[in-house]
Amino acid sequence: RYSLFYNRLKNIEENEGGLDKFSKSYKTFGVNQLVDGGIYCKEWAPGAEAVFLAGDFNGWNPFSHPYKKMQYGKWELFIPPGQDGCSPVPHGSKLKVVIRAQNGELLYRISPWARYVVRDEDKVNYDWVHWNPPQAYIHKHPSPKRLKSLRIYESHVGIASPEGKVASYKNFTYNVLPRIKDLGYNCVQLMAIMEHAYYASFGYQVTSFFAASSRYGTPDDLKEMIDVAHSMGITVLLDVVHSHASKNSEDGLNKFDGSDSCFFHSGPRGTHQLWDSRLFDYANWEVLRFLLSNLRMWIADYGFDGFRFDGVTSMLYHHHGIGTGFSGDYNEYFGLHVDEDALCYLMLANHMINFLHPECITIAEDVSGMPALCRPVAEGGGGFDYRLAMAIPDKWIQIIKELKDEDWNMGNIVHTLTNRRHEEKYIAYAESHDQ
């Protein structure tokens, strides 16, 4: 495992100029404003015959702005600035990447790197909106120092209000954060931030990985919310979903270039049987670029202080934990059923965060008990700082539902609380959104 990690890291350093540059690809992929006012566009679409950019800026002409084909399935386009030096693609205008598939069909897609997507009330699918405000939000407060003892408040911005509507970032900033502070919490873990078309999924069917959900407000509203949390000394973690993606194609990653694969495994391996979602191909170079850049963007642009990685068990094994029980025997954690590429990605992600942003925290949601998941990568571990002690809330629910007070078995409770991997840090909790 460490050998695979080391070789991938070495390849990134030799071919991409290092992990720092590699994980900043969000600054070149998608649609980005240049200093001179021009626009640089770049996409990875290996299955496309041709790629174009269409939108309000060109009257939705699907062929007037073609991308140039590059090596390794990449496409690029440069749009020069206007005569007055202004951007040819105005802030707030709608865009689509137009893909000519292998069968000749024209596909109107949202860029996987889109920063802001919105849905009109009379529409089903999301629209990609170019986000480049004249005055970008500037963070005023530094991140809190790395905490030695986490007291985490898990929250969903949209339901953090007694009103019968989807709540906003502004509401959370001025009404919820003060309450979290007063209750004595020093960390807030935010769910459902990465854009998801299906609201009832609680944010776990992500469609746009680089876009903050527009249901609650603008990207600047979220940045302000995190900034205010920092002013209160509150650490902010993002519930990040890199274990799978929504199968939506009109406003998601699925079939972006017209093929069944692209970011995902092709065939049955590319679909999760229970979640009905797509599964990333973690061995693919461009998938690594996409996911590592995604983490980097949330830290660098928004100011997040770390991540809770969702669905790690599904990532670690080819069987995704479906119909599988774990007894703790080492044979369950080492063998052909382990997805070494996914584990290598997690090691790369944690190494990157620890190396470039050592103040940030990573937490793994794993029910399998994978050994060394929270030991340093240099020791051959997964590199996470903490793992969730997921047996504790299950035990608590069992006790209050099935047992009388006088029947509580103290020895069994103590065993549940202390049954953990040696020298690995755990987050103990009584309940979360899963309960």
Q: Is the C-alpha dihedral spanning 418, 419, 421, 424 positive or negative?
A: negative
Catalytic residue among 195, 365, 366, 385, which? 365
Q: What is the DSSP string of 322-378?
A: TT----S-GGGTSSTTB-HHHHHHHHHHHHHHHHH-TT-EEEE--SS--TTTTS-GG
| Neighbour-count burial of 136, counting CB atoms closer than 10 A to its CB (0-12 exposed, 13-18 middle, 19+ buried) | exposed
Residue pair 87/102 in contact (Cβ under 8 Å)? The answer is no
Active site residue 310: yes
Catalytic residue among 195, 305, 310, 424, which? 310
Active site residue 122: no
Cβ-Cβ contacts under 8 Å for 96 (sequence gap 6 or more): 53, 54, 55, 108, 109, 110, 128
SS (H, E, C) 186-221: CEEEEECCEECCCHHHCCCCCCEEEEECCCCCCHHH
Alpha helices in 65-188 (DSSP H): 169-171, 177-182
Q: Which residues are catalytic?
A: 310, 365
